[in-house]
Structure 1
Amino acid sequence: MQGTVDDFAFGAVTPAASYLVAGVSSALGLRCVVRSLINRQSWKPGWLALGAATIGCGIWTMHFVAMVGFRIQGIPIDYDSRLTSLSLVVAIVTAGAGVFVVGYRGATPVTLTAAGVLTGLAVVATHYTGMAALELNGSLEYDSLTVTASVLIAVTAATAALWTAASYRGFPAALGAGLLMGVALTGTHYIGMSALAVHLRGATDASYMTGLYGNSSPASILLPLLIGPVVFLILAGVIVMFDPQLVLGGGDRSLATPRRRRATAVAPERPAHPPQTAQTASLFEPRDQPVGRHASPRGR
């Protein structure tokens, strides 16, 4: 018996929420990757690890936010906790492989393409591992052509997002890259769901059930699982937004700004007659170096 699948039990709420999560988390993760590239003296492993975890958590959270609106007519559904947790690990590890390739090999065409493929595969692997975690009185079957289309969309959009983030390092580029990655995530999910067919086993109730499993609904099962990743994404956003180099959108230029401001501030106070050279030179000397070699003998 064929089961009737509904991906939009809450209308446009879950697709919009999943796309928002996908876009924001992707933008944050890509900014972490850029942060590791613009200043080679930064703590590269830490920024890359944060970027990998942010993108991976975003992929996983997007999938299960979308699954809150998933229903099958006539049967209850539940989720296997081990496979659900495994899908999060798969997302972080696979996305992390692409992130570290760019971080340590540089933003070359080859590495960006390889990282895009790995990130797209992270989206695909997370989706189908998460779908394997479904527990229901039936079996899942996928149309191979539609699955192939979902893989191509994930890889293409993820690669384009990485190219955009690495090539243009301002806020508009980060926003555009996040929107492209959001397309990769949500597009893969909903195209993959359109490939799904559910074959039910045994007799089922003909009424439309809202995923009742005991006294729990899909929302009550999934929402507690989403709390941890969502809190992590918020903390990652705070770290990224309060990093000066990412806010300014520059690299080493931001390191020279304080000295330039200092020189500009003291310039009007310089005397117009000798000993101008001595006073000016002392402003840029180390504090522990004695200035007596510029002083006149009368000051001794």
Structure 2
Amino acid sequence: MFPSPMDMGTVTPITAYLIAFVGSALGLLSSERARNATGASRNGWLAVAAVSIGGLGIWGMHFTAMLGTWMGANVAYDIPVTLLSMVVAIVVVAIGLVVALRHDGDERFWPLAAGGLVTGLGVAAMHYTGMSAIVINAEITYNPGIVALSVAIAVVASIVALWFTREVTGPLTVLGASLVMGLAVTGMHYTGMHAMSVTVDQGAAIITGNSEELIMSLIIAGAGFSVIITFLLALTSPDEERREEAEVLERVLQRTESRRLGQR
């Protein structure tokens, strides 16, 4: 038996990229609010950013792309493993955001590198956990070299994404950063897909099930979540935001002054 050719479609990759872009944009806008907030409000915006980037931008993109990919035979998905992959995506992004933004105002590279490494390895784990959820009458194998490349792309993309969440402000800058983040996330996914070979057992029974409907429902729910977050962002008071920005700036200046005095 020879590996079956996979058809990833033409519209599906574009749709997957758009989902990654929207998730990235909402995540960046939410992380910007988190930088300008304190206490429970800051934690709330960090959670929203993690769900936007990890849940919609990464997980939603991944399974949108998968649902549009033909592997030579009918496919179903193990629901518990699929849901686990979503949790992994959200949690690792949350960890990366906390590590990176805890050192907001710190120009050192190591917080970004540490957060990016954790997030990147987590994103790769989410991808391959999601792939392990595939139920198909076929043998699936992976090219180790391309797998390693996809993991490296995930780590680098995560470092860049966390840098964006720490530095990017303003709608136009967020737009540009989201375009880059969406491309990086989608690129990692399709690199990982090219590492996979599927050899279909032509004599096996056809796989049936409704797992795709559940996954699509979750993605649609993610789109609804995006609409809600967009309204929340739009309703944020400009006066309150300016006040919070002034408070954050004051804290950054205080930390900078403390470090300067400590170096004397």
Match of 2:68 in 1: 69
3-state DSSP class of the match of 2:203? Answer: coil
- The letter for the 2-side match of 1:200 is V
- The letter for the 2-side match of 1:237 is T
1:157 equivalent to 2:150? Answer no
Greater CA drift, 76-85 or 110-119:
110-119
Stretches of structure 1 that go unaligned for 5 or more consecutive residues are: 206-211, 255-300
Match of 2:225 in 1: 232
Are 2:76 and 2:208, in contact at CA under 8 Å, matched by a contact in 1? no
1:15 equivalent to 2:8? Answer no
Runs of 4 or more, structure 1, over 6 Å off, are 246-250
Task: Spell out the pairing of 1:97-246 with structure 2 (5 A cutoff).
Answer: 97-108=95-106, 109-201=109-201, 203=203, 213-214=207-208, 220=213, 222-245=215-238
**How many pairs were matched up?**
245
- The letter for the 2-side match of 1:101 is V
1:4 equivalent to 2:1? Answer no
C-alpha distance 239-246 of structure 1, shift in aligned 2 (>3 A): farther
Q: TM-score under structure 2 normalisation?
A: 0.81
Q: Considering fraction of residues, name the structure with more helix.
A: 2
- The letter for the 2-side match of 1:14 is T
3-state DSSP class of the match of 1:87? Answer: helix
Match of 1:291 in 2: none
Q: TM-score under structure 1 normalisation?
A: 0.72
Q: Within 2, Cα distance between the matches of 1:168 and 1:249?
A: 16
RMSD: 2.9
Q: Within 2, Cα distance between the matches of 1:129 and 1:114?
A: 22
Q: Considering Cα pairs closer than 8 Å and 6+ residues apart, tell me whether 1 or 2 has the greater RCO.
A: 2
- The letter for the 2-side match of 1:20 is L
Are 1:28 and 1:54, in contact at CA under 8 Å, matched by a contact in 2? yes
C-alpha distance 124-246 of structure 1, shift in aligned 2 (>3 A): farther
Q: Within 2, Cα distance between the matches of 1:39 and 1:90?
A: 26
Given candidates 36, 53, 56, the residue that maps to 2:54 is: 56
Match of 1:83 in 2: 81
Are 1:21 and 1:62, in contact at CA under 8 Å, matched by a contact in 2? yes
Q: 1:5, CA displacement in angstroms? A: 3.5
C-alpha distance 7-105 of structure 1, shift in aligned 2 (>3 A): farther
Are 2:97 and 2:162, in contact at CA under 8 Å, matched by a contact in 1? no
Given candidates 30, 33, 41, the residue that maps to 1:32 is: 30
Q: Within 2, Cα distance between the matches of 1:40 and 1:196?
A: 44
Q: 1:251, CA displacement in angstroms? A: 5.0
Q: Within 2, Cα distance between the matches of 1:24 and 1:150?
A: 22
Stretches of structure 2 that go unaligned for 5 or more consecutive residues are: 248-264
Are 1:140 and 1:198, in contact at CA under 8 Å, matched by a contact in 2? yes
**Percent identity over paired residues:** 36
- The letter for the 2-side match of 1:238 is F
Q: Within 1, Cα distance between the matches of 2:67 and 2:146?
A: 22
Match of 1:96 in 2: 94
- The letter for the 2-side match of 1:63 is H
C-alpha distance 193-201 of structure 1, shift in aligned 2 (>3 A): same
C-alpha distance 225-253 of structure 1, shift in aligned 2 (>3 A): closer
